[in-house]
Amino acid sequence: MADLNARRNAIARARFFLGMPDAVIDHLAAAATEEPVPASRPILVQDEPGDAIYVVVEGVARVHDGATLLARIGAGESFGELSTFEESVCSASVTAETDMRLLRLGRSPLLDAMEAVPGAGAALTRSLCRCLRERTGQIVHEAQSRQMLEREMEIGRRIQAGFLPSRLPEVAGWDIAAYFRAARDVGGDFYDAFEIDGQRHIGLIVGDVCDKGVGAALFMTLFRSLLRAAAKSQDYRGGAGIAGAAGDPPAILRNSLRFANDYIARTHGDTSMFATLFFGLLDPVSGQLHYVNAGHEEPLLVGTGGVKGTLGNTGPAVGLFEGVDFDVADLVLMPGEMVLAYTDGVTDAVDSGGKQFTAGRMRDFAAAGPRGATGLVAGLADAVERHMGGAVRFDDVTILSVSRSARD
């Protein structure tokens, strides 16, 4: 854009210079330099000084705060005004999204125009005031939007908390305890503990939905509701083409998981959402625990002498493929023994230096920690929280344990 008249027209059309006296436009056009900028090249960098106003002649630029897109700027718009006049650092970064042609107006020509052209100072001041008003309005709008989002997330957090059991079953001779903390306002982990046919069996579930945040939280409520409803309903927990009488623990587990799995895979398969989970049915009289481990972290079997083993995988994650069958395993919890189920947010929890809590540390704690589900869960949760300290949370933390009294 070697033509002076073309530069003049480009500056005069820019929003920041609208209504500027012709003498000011002429002065700036004579001092402006054309800069071709290829796509992906940074033009302004956040927290670094700015010393020019840029007018976009062709192309599009991204205004961003790190990876967060704030706005796009196209032909006829300008940027860099405030940092140029204030001699301050840029409040955001600007990067060419496409190949661009820019006009650059350095600080010195702008100051020269204010001195040399009558009325230039007042005109540029009015433009700066307008720019500040627009920026203030944008900040207020963003603050209001954040407040609204925070209110909605708080509502979501309360709704999700309502899907977790408000109290755990109380069964003579047994102790059941749980802990949950989301990495964000809402999370994809879940746990459940509920009675079936009075206290004939106790359902115990720990699950982890893939992904994080709102989407995972929505599917968490769906998985939890499907499993609980199917396990407690006479319509789904027996039969349905799977061997086993209604009320038989293996049949309840198989049919509940088959029902939830097929519904998710058939109805929401396009989302590719799934959950790993441990689902156990405890007979509190005999101590027998039937369970399915659907691709989940292997719960620990802990006795008075330490960790005695793990409850290994018996099937794939839930929700990936329709028509999957789930094998059922079982064990008998003897007096003094307990099962510790958890999500990978426990073992993968990192401190500010990136050091993980690790599965080994969790096993050591379980082996030497408090006896009984309540003490073990509280102690392990405290150990994980102290390990993380003020580090950024990357995953939800969920723990569920059931223990049999040593005096049973």
- Residue 328 DSSP symbol: -
The residue-averaged pLDDT of 283-297 equals 95
Residue 170, φ and ψ in degrees, nearest 5: -110, 115
Domain co-membership, 314 together with 179: yes
What secondary structure does DSSP assign to 164-206, as a single string? S-SS----TTEEEEEEEE-SSSS-SEEEEEEEETTTTEEEEEE
- pLDDT value at position 315? 92
* Domain annotation covers residue 145: no
Sorting pLDDT into bands at 50, 70 and 90, what band is 240? very low
The reply to whether 96 and 203 lie within a common domain is: no
Rounded Cα–Cα distance for residues 68 and 332 (Å): 53
3-state secondary structure 90-138: CCCEEEECCCEEEEEEEHHHHHHHHHHCCCHHHHHHHHHHHHHHHHHHH
Has residue 148 been placed in a domain?
no
Which domain range does residue 120 map to?
4-140
Domain boundary among 140, 175, 194: 140
pLDDT higher than 50, residue 150: yes
Residue where one domain finishes, among candidates 107, 140, 173: 140
Q: What is the CATH number of the domain that holds 179?
A: 3.60.40.10
Number of domains in the chain: 2
289 & 349 share domain: yes
pLDDT for the residue numbered 242: 42
- Between 55 and 242, the more confident residue is 55
Q: What is the CATH number of the domain that holds 128?
A: 2.60.120.10
Q: With cut-offs at 50, 70 and 90, classify the pLDDT of residue 24.
A: confident
Specify which of 74-78, 86-90, 178-182, 283-287 reaches the highest per-range mean pLDDT: 283-287
Q: Is the pLDDT assigned to residue 241 strictly greater than 50?
A: no
Judge if 197 and 318 occupy the same domain: yes
143 token code pair: 């603050």
Residue 151 falls within a domain, yes or no?
no
Q: How many CB atoms lie within 10 A of CB 285?
A: 11
Can you tell me whether residue 64 is helix, strand or coil?
A: strand
* Residue 158 within any structural domain of the chain: no
Residue 223 and residue 123 share a domain: no
pLDDT, tens digit, for every residue of 373-389? Answer: 999 999 999 999 999 98
Predicted structure pTM score: 0.63
Instruction: Give the count of alpha carbons within 13 A of 129, CB side only.
Output: 6
- Cα separation, 135 vs 142, in Å, equals 10
In a domain, 10, yes or no: yes
In contact, 192 and 164? CB cutoff 8 Å: yes
Give tens-digit pLDDT for 65-98.
888 888 888 888 888 887 777 666 787 889 999 9
In a domain, 302, yes or no: yes
Residues 204 and 115 both lie in one domain: no
Asked whether residue 75 is domain-assigned, the answer is yes
* Shared-domain flag, residues 113 and 228: no
Helix (H) or strand (E) holding 55: strand 52-58
> Both 366 and 312 in a single domain?
yes
Neighbours of 154 (CB within 10 A): 12
pLDDT over threshold 60, residue 394 = yes
Q: Do residues 313 and 256 both lie within one domain?
A: yes
Which of 77, 105, 140 is the C-terminal boundary of a domain? 140
Q: Are residues 128 and 173 in the same domain?
A: no
Same domain? For 253 and 182 the reply is yes
| Whether residue 126 has pLDDT greater than 80 | no
The answer to whether residues 290 and 281 touch, using CB atoms and an 8 Å cutoff, is yes
What is the average pLDDT score of the chain?
Answer: 84
The reply to whether 128 and 224 lie within a common domain is no
Do the domain assignments include residue 150? no
pLDDT tens for each residue of 298-326: 999 999 889 999 999 999 999 989 999 89
Of 14, 148, 34, 142, nearest in space to 81 by CA: 14
